[in-house]
Amino acid sequence: MKKILILNGPNLNLLGKREPTIYGNQTFEAYFQDLSSQYEDVSLHYFQSNHEGAIIDKIHEIGFDFDGMIINAGGLTHTSVALADAISAVTTPAVEVHISNIHSRESFRHHSFLTSRCKGMICGLGLQGYELALRYLLAN
């Protein structure tokens, strides 16, 4: 059974409440339950933190034992070299996901420090981007 971690960064704990016109009305916990029930043959894990160090620690913890990680680093995407270095330091392949289309938003969101360290990036497809990333990781 493949082990996959979904890793969400700052402010993503507010999904369902935060800017629903951008991020939708569903909580991530509800989405994760639905996703887990669709992929019962996968060991899906979820971690969210508003703290950069905790996210880096989690990457180090799973980075040599899991079959993949799906990461939405939120605002840290555009600022954290340390997070990019953590992804590079481990062997677990990562796919970057963003709920909104970061390229149609403020210019500071157009650059990601993570993209070059990941297998690919999915943005602008809402929560469905997580499932698309999962399907990629399961197929490769």
Instruction: Give the Å distances, CA to CA, from 1 to 36, 60, 77.
Output: 13, 21, 30
| Catalytic residue, candidates 31, 46, 98, 130 | 98
Please, which residues bridge with residue 124 across strands?
none
pLDDT, tens only, 31-66:
999 999 999 999 999 999 999 999 999 999 999 999
Say which DSSP state 1 is in.
-
Which of the four pLDDT bands, split at 50, 70 and 90, describes residue 108?
A: low
Q: Is 105 annotated as a binding residue?
A: no
Is 60 a residue of the active site? no
**pTM score of the predicted model:** 0.93
Q: Is 51 annotated as a binding residue?
A: no
Is 103 a residue of the active site? no
Q: Is 109 annotated as a binding residue?
A: yes
Q: Write out the residue range of the structural domain in which residue 45 sits.
A: 3-67+82-139
Q: Is 73 part of any domain?
A: no
Q: Is 14 part of any domain?
A: yes
CATH of the domain at 61: 3.40.50.9100
Q: Is 44 part of any domain?
A: yes
- Rounded Cα gap, residues 13 and 82, in angstroms: 22
How many separate domains does the chain show?
1
Q: Is 60 annotated as a binding residue?
A: no
Check: CB of residue 114 under 8 Å from CB of residue 83: yes
